[in-house]
Amino acid sequence: MPKLSSNQLQEYNDNGYVAPIEVLTKDQAFEIRKEIENIETKWPNELKGAGRNYVHMISPILDEVCHNSKMLDAVESIIGKNILICGTTLFIKNPHEKGFVSFHQDATYIGLEPHNWVTAWLAITDANKENGCMRMWSGSHKDNIRHHEQKYDEGNLLTRGQTVENVPLDETIPLILKAGQMSLHHPTIVHGSGLNKSNDRRIGFVVQSYIGSNVDQVLGKMYVQQARGDDTFKYHQHTKKPSSLMNPKDIEIRKKANNDLQRIFYPGSTKKGSF
Ligand SMILES: O=C(O)CCC(=O)C(=O)O
């Protein structure tokens, strides 16, 4: 199986990310875009706010992406063969809107311990400097969790606007991806992204994250699917694949999963962000 090469693995270990990894053809990526836009058209509120999470639970097409063998082969090289899908998020930036992502570390506020997990960012459209691709602070994953200011600022696509201050922007590396390519990043790498200044949408479908079955959720409850191997730890609630697009039973489970996710994101918090 075409797992990550030793050079790619070295890149991940040294820098905290690896890219690009070929996953889908441009046409396949476009089919995924059509599925997302079909949901947006037919069910206009479904993907808004917290609805950007767990979309794979209501769309067999998006679910299938999470089980893509090219993605899983690469992920297996990093976290081993017992792989769970513990969540997905759509990061969409529409043109001329204020969407951006402040510099942050994913491991903050997510409750997944130990850090045997990896985030897969799949480009559904091209992602480049003009439309606000992710930027990585290379090597920053080697430090511990840094202080995050909670800013709740307008346009920030993160839950609390959590921000690592004083990141040297000109030292960060843009992750330029073609539609269908993916990047993998480490739980503690500092990363973020700027505005979309292009005339088209920038869409990332993010498996957030693939976790080893030894990873527990210490802040709440998560809903997982087995992607590969076994789950002898049984820390999480396992769910089935969605049976059809927007099937009422799947919608119900997704609602539960999203409510539980809110408890993880905002434990005892008096203030809530849009997601
Ligand atoms: O899509 C973006 O610009 C940022 C996404 C992100 O922070 C993540 O996938 O961890």
Per-residue pLDDT of 118-171, as tens digits, reads 999 999 999 999 999 999 999 999 999 999 999 999 999 998 899 999 999 999
pLDDT score, position 139: 97
Mean pLDDT, rounded, for 12-22: 98
204 Cα nearest atom in ligand 1? 1
Mean pLDDT, rounded, for 99-107: 96
Decide if pLDDT at 59 tops 90.
yes
Mean pLDDT, rounded, for 79-108: 96
Mean pLDDT, rounded, for 21-40: 98
The whole-angstrom separation of Cα 120 and Cα 74 is 10
Structure tokens at 113: 């311990």
pLDDT score, position 275: 79
Decide if pLDDT at 1 tops 60.
no
121 Cα nearest atom in ligand 1? 9
pLDDT score, position 8: 97
Residue to substitute in 101, 105, 141 for testing ligand 1 pocket (most ligand atoms within 8 angstroms of CB): 101
Decide if pLDDT at 27 tops 60.
yes
The whole-angstrom separation of Cα 226 and Cα 20 is 25
Name the burial class of residue 116, with classes exposed (0-12), middle (13-18) and buried (19+) by CB atoms within 10 angstroms of its CB. middle
Instruction: Please name which of 110, 133, 274, 259 lies closest in space to residue 196, comparing C-alpha atoms.
Output: 133
pLDDT score, position 2: 58
Mean pLDDT, rounded, for 239-251: 97
- Answer for the pair 222, 260: CB distance below 8 angstroms, yes or no: yes
Which residue in the block uniquely carries the two structure tokens 């690896």? Answer: 18
Mean pLDDT, rounded, for 27-38: 98
Decide if pLDDT at 22 tops 70.
yes
Instruction: Please name which of 115, 172, 170 lies closest in space to residue 139, comparing C-alpha atoms.
Output: 172
The whole-angstrom separation of Cα 182 and Cα 126 is 10
Mean pLDDT of the chain, nearest integer: 95
The whole-angstrom separation of Cα 117 and Cα 105 is 13
Mean pLDDT, rounded, for 266-270: 75
Structure tokens at 166: 């004083």
Distance 232 CA to ligand 1 centre (A): 30
Beta bridge partners of 120: 184, 207
Distance 36 CA to ligand 1 centre (A): 18
pLDDT band at residue 267 using 50, 70 and 90 as cut-offs: confident
Q: What tens digit of pLDDT does each residue of 173-230 get?
A: 999 999 999 999 999 999 999 999 999 999 999 999 999 999 999 999 999 999 999 9
List all residues whose CB is within 6 A of at least one atom of ligand 1: 91, 101, 106, 119, 121, 134, 191, 193, 204, 206, 208
pLDDT score, position 96: 87
**Residue of the CA atom closest to atom 1 of ligand 1:** 91
Decide if pLDDT at 272 tops 90.
no
Instruction: Please name which of 86, 44, 61 lies closest in space to residue 243, comparing C-alpha atoms.
Output: 61
Distance 26 CA to ligand 1 centre (A): 21
Cβ neighbors of 186 (< 8 A, separation 6 or more) are 12, 16, 17, 115, 118, 141
3-state DSSP assignment of residue 185:
strand
3-state DSSP assignment of residue 56:
helix
